[in-house]
Amino acid sequence: MPTISRRAVLASAAVLLAPAAYAYPDRPVRIIVPFPPGQAADLFARLLADRLSAMWPQRVLVENRAGGAGSVGLEAGKQAAPDGHTLIMGTSGTLGINPNVIPNLPYDPIRDFVPISNVFLAPLVLVVHPEFPAKTVHDLVARAKAEPGALNYASAGPGTAQHLTAELFATRAGIRMTHVPYRGSAPAMTDVIAGVVPVMLDSVAAALGHIRGGRVRPLAVTTAARSPLLADIPTVAESVAPGFDAAGWSGIIAPKATPAALVAKISTDIQAALEHAPTRQRMIDMGGIPAAGPPEAFGAFIRDEIAKWGAVARAANVRLDG
């Protein structure tokens, strides 16, 4: 029987134990988006998928798995093989808000997933019907204080980033408004345009066309800095609530047991994808702010968001069936 050298044994072991990242990806990669096509998370996931497809030897495909306030998609991602070929577009709603408002959530954002990288921030903008009397956010606050609860605002649904941000705004501004929830951002905006409900917070990405078309009028954006696409519109922080900073966001996560080498590679490649000048500019033009970073930073960000929106949900008594 031939003698096998120690060097040969070690070389064979090294091949067997080498991180899968070295051959990754060896087949198409899917990004599960837990919402229907056309929403911000979907649009930016497709932008990222296109760039990664150009960088990797395999295509990156987007799979929409909507339902249950994003729970259907997150649960599907949780159950996927932890080999880097299934990624999930986690969002401010599914990772930051749902754990605080849905009692029987079928996933845990910390225990069941590993963070890879945030992808974008989505500033929200406070808009009103063009004929609404308030011309500034100061006017709106004064009107709401004069008639507590009389001012209605629309949202994309209970427990969404739009809903919780509006509640945070009301708390910080010292006012009380009445929530009118819809099944998605589009029908809510339709009723604001029609004058059925006068006020709404929506993403800049979704509202921009209506703003430019004069169908709604912007009063303030919710991020600490002004939106590059609405540079003449003040922030809530500089208007009525110093320090106010809130945004929707989405980032890439993976099933918990995904190897660390793969997580590091995918995160590095996402950061490179969003440094690609045309991709970065396209994201900005669509109303997003590129926000890629390492896994540790994204994990800390998710934990901070859970704490932040938990406080808002408790103060506003927001609770959903789950």
**In a structure prediction context, what are the per-residue pLDDT tens digits for the chain, which is 322 residues long?**
444 445 444 444 444 444 444 589 999 999 999 988 888 899 999 999 999 999 999 999 999 998 888 999 999 999 999 999 999 999 999 999 999 999 999 999 999 999 999 999 989 999 999 999 999 999 999 999 999 999 999 998 888 889 999 999 999 999 999 999 998 888 999 999 999 999 999 999 889 999 999 999 999 999 999 998 999 999 999 989 999 999 999 999 999 999 999 999 999 999 999 999 999 999 999 889 999 999 999 999 999 999 999 999 998 888 887 4
Residue 123's SS3 state is strand
- Please check whether residue 72 is in contact with residue 95, taking contact to mean a CB–CB distance below 8 angstroms: no
Q: Is the dihedral of CA 217, 146, 238, 299 positive or negative?
A: negative
Tell me the angle at which helices 260-275 and 277-285 cross, rounded to the nearest 10 degrees.
70
Give the domain ranges of the chain: 28-121+247-316, 123-239
Q: Which residue has 């577009």 as its token pair?
A: 89
Pairing of strands 152-155, 247-255: unpaired
- Radius of gyration, alpha carbons of the chain: 22
Query: Is 60 in a helix, a strand, or coil?
Result: strand
Query: Class of 123-239 per CATH?
Result: alpha beta
> So what's the pLDDT on residue 133?
96
pTM: 0.84
**3-class DSSP assignment, residue 160:** coil
Q: In the prediction, which pLDDT does 18 show?
A: 44
Q: Residue 103's Cα: distance from chain center in Å?
A: 21
pLDDT on residue 22: 57
Q: In 3D, which of 301, 298, 280 has the Cα closest to residue 289?
A: 280
Fold classification of 28-121+247-316 (topology level): D-Maltodextrin-Binding Protein; domain 2 (3.40.190)
Q: So what's the pLDDT on residue 13? A: 43
Cβ–Cβ < 8 Å for 83, 258: yes
Identical fold, 28-121+247-316 and 123-239:
yes
Cis peptide preceding 25, ω within 30 of 0: yes
Question: For residues 117 and 106, what is the distance between their CA atoms, to the nearest angstrom?
Answer: 22
